[in-house]
Chain A
Amino acid sequence: MALEVKIEKQLPEFALNVAFHADDGAPLSVLGPSGSGKTMLLRCIAGLERPDRGRVVLGERVLLDTGQKIRVPARSRKVGLLFQHYALFPHRTVLENINFAARALPKNDRERRITEVILRTHISGLEHRYPRELSGGEQQRVALARALATDPEALLLDEPLSALDAHLRGQIEAQLQETFAEYKRPTLLVTHNIEEAYRLCDQLLVLSRGHVAAFGPKQEIFERPPTVQVARLTGCKNFSKVKVVAPCEIEALDWGCRLHVPQPKEKAAFVGIRAHHVDFAEAALPGASTENTFPCWLVRSSETPFRITLFLKLHAPPNGDSPEFHLQAEVFKEKWERFRDEPMPWHVRLSPTALFLTPE
């Protein structure tokens, strides 16, 4: 079974205009900043919103075709939607919530299905509680159980982890991975968290102001983003305009240096490197490679519990000029401890394999 989606809808700020497909057993992450139309997209697929134009086909069933005036109502779509804040019915116990969903199934299948989803989502023991008596993680699992109880032919999840405390996220993420592995039908997960998208899904769709900025296998998009915008949306911090000067050499205009690159595309317009790929060379060692290695000075830094982000200026010490810095480098603190006291300039190395070029 596959889910094919093509949707156009005018929103107050921009137009949602997307087309993609999701296949069995390859969960798809819809990644985009808040307000990029992600939730609206899910609601259109689930049948809660009316697109201006579009076509949604799930397996053999046409759920929406504005050209043929087909619009299957939400209740008949067999599409499970997990709401961001779960929308568990507050007046019903956990079991009653799941029972409500199981009513979509033939009578003989209900009991078995209910037992199965309770077991799979690890919520046995909670059956007779009311939603407000559950923790955030438990509510999330119950909502998942309820969505699965209808035996949906596709599963849509709207920011499933965003309402949870940090310490619960890992746990629930593992649970979702397990569910996705067992579910094996088209699965869409909407998120604005890059790492979450990468860990949970194989396929990635990057959404930006309503249009598809990138769509494909996640490794491909992360390693070779098609545009600067996608690179930025997938968390890349460092970009420079380029001029191609030789088959394997470019001039990075914003960084003021020449770089060796592996496979320069003809139309390369930008070069980028992810912050954690910026390497520090032990330049003091005589005979060390000087390829793509440049002196740099620390402008400022910003700490997270285990890593540090260093804002670096290339070629000359910071003197208040613009730009304030050229590169952001992210290193583990253990590594930073080793060179933090060394005299400047330090030396950064922009490994050719870590650099990527984009045409726009």
Chain B
Amino acid sequence: MDWSPVWISLATSVTATLITMVFGLAAAAWRERHNGPLMAFVDGICLLPLVLPPTVVGFFLLLFLGHNGPFGKLLAKYEVTILFTWPATVIAAAVVSFPLMYLTARAALEQVDPHFVQAARTLGASEWRVFWEVALPLAWPGVLAGTILSFARALGEFGATLMLAGNIPGKTATIPIAIYFAVEGDDIKRALAWCAVDVGISLILLAALYSWTHTRGPARWARR
């Protein structure tokens, strides 16, 4: 049996989650400090991939990154192709999992008692130190929960991936895509095996998430 979908899926999800984490946290931190009438639109754009059908997201990405798209043209100049390569699976997974990271990170940062942040400021800390040494550590349980959710979402990504990266065995065929084509090819046994693997990984992740979220809060900072 060809195990490549497992490695492709894991590599894609890990990479996508790292990207999502950086951008999601940055967006959440930026949004926390900016309020205004236009911010509702920023929120809307950040959350769109969560509610749109993944095929719509995939189609937009296809237009954007394709040879005639604004970004695709730029890439073509440097003879870089993204469509139907492994990076395309990462981009698709990162875009669809971004809203989960953004939402949870924002909620977690908002829940940090503002007195801690203000105290840090009166103690002479720069905004950079306030974020890294006070706000983020205090929001960490929530941020971690968001990371796990994003990872799980990236792992389950199908629609946008298929649109953007297709089904190239050994390159872009992730577990969900392998399942789809196994079923289409009447290879029920193989489909079942991939399903079992997917359920297993997701279950472990969700269990990890729950054990984390139940030990969050000040109790974590008691004497170890």
B and A form one assembly: yes
Residues on A lying within 8 angstroms of B by beta carbon are 46-48, 73-81, 83, 85, 87, 89-91, 100-101, 103-104, 129-133, 146-147, 149-150
- Which of A47, A91, A131 lies in contact with B122, CB distance below 8 A? A47
Given A132-B218, A132-B222, A133-B223, answer yes or no on A89-B134 (Cβ-Cβ < 8 Å). yes
**Is B138 touching A90 in the complex (CB atoms < 8 A)?**
yes
In the bound complex, residues from chain B placing their C-beta under 8 Å from that of A77 are 122
In the bound complex, residues from chain B placing their C-beta under 8 Å from that of A89 are 116, 119-120, 134, 138
Cα A81 to Cα B218 with chains together (Å): 23
B68 at interface, CB cutoff 8 A: no
Q: What's the tally of chain B residues with a CB closer than 8 Å to chain A?
A: 22
**Is B223 touching A87 in the complex (CB atoms < 8 A)?**
no
In the bound complex, residues from chain A placing their C-beta under 8 Å from that of B121 are 47-48, 73-75
Cα A101 to Cα B134 with chains together (Å): 12
20 contacts between A and B (CB under 8 A): A47-B121, A47-B122, A48-B121, A73-B121, A74-B122, A75-B121, A75-B122, A79-B122, A81-B122, A83-B118, A87-B116, A87-B119, A89-B120, A89-B134, A90-B116, A90-B138, A91-B138, A91-B221, A100-B120, A130-B221
In the bound complex, residues from chain A placing their C-beta under 8 Å from that of B137 are 91
In the bound complex, residues from chain A placing their C-beta under 8 Å from that of B113 are 87
**Is B134 touching A48 in the complex (CB atoms < 8 A)?**
no
Cα A76 to Cα B126 with chains together (Å): 9
Known: A132-B222, A149-B123. 7 other contacts (CB 8 A): A91-B138, A100-B123, A103-B125, A103-B129, A104-B125, A133-B223, A150-B124
B115 at interface, CB cutoff 8 A: yes
Residues on B lying within 8 angstroms of A by beta carbon are 113, 115-116, 118-126, 129, 133-134, 137-138, 218, 220-223
- From A75, A81, A101, residue with most partner B Cβ within 10 Å: A75
Cα A132 to Cα B123 with chains together (Å): 21
In the bound complex, residues from chain B placing their C-beta under 8 Å from that of A90 are 116, 138, 218, 221
A78 closest partner in B (C-beta): B124
Given A85-B115, A91-B138, answer yes or no on A101-B218 (Cβ-Cβ < 8 Å). no
Q: How far is the CB of B112 from chain A (nearest CB, A)?
A: 10
Q: Closest 10 interchain pairs by CB?
A: A104-B124, A87-B119, A74-B121, A87-B115, A101-B123, A81-B122, A91-B137, A90-B221, A91-B221, A130-B221
Q: How far is the CB of B119 from chain A (nearest CB, A)?
A: 4
In the bound complex, residues from chain A placing their C-beta under 8 Å from that of B123 are 75, 100-101, 104, 146-147, 149-150
Q: How far is the CB of B35 from chain A (nearest CB, A)?
A: 14
**Is B116 touching A46 in the complex (CB atoms < 8 A)?**
no
Cα A47 to Cα B113 with chains together (Å): 18
- From A48, A146, A149, residue with most partner B Cβ within 10 Å: A48
B124 closest partner in A (C-beta): A104
Q: How far is the CB of B139 from chain A (nearest CB, A)?
A: 11
Cα A87 to Cα B124 with chains together (Å): 15
Given A90-B221, A91-B137, answer yes or no on A46-B122 (Cβ-Cβ < 8 Å). yes
- Which of B116, B118, B223 lies in contact with A48, CB distance below 8 A? B118
Cα A132 to Cα B224 with chains together (Å): 12
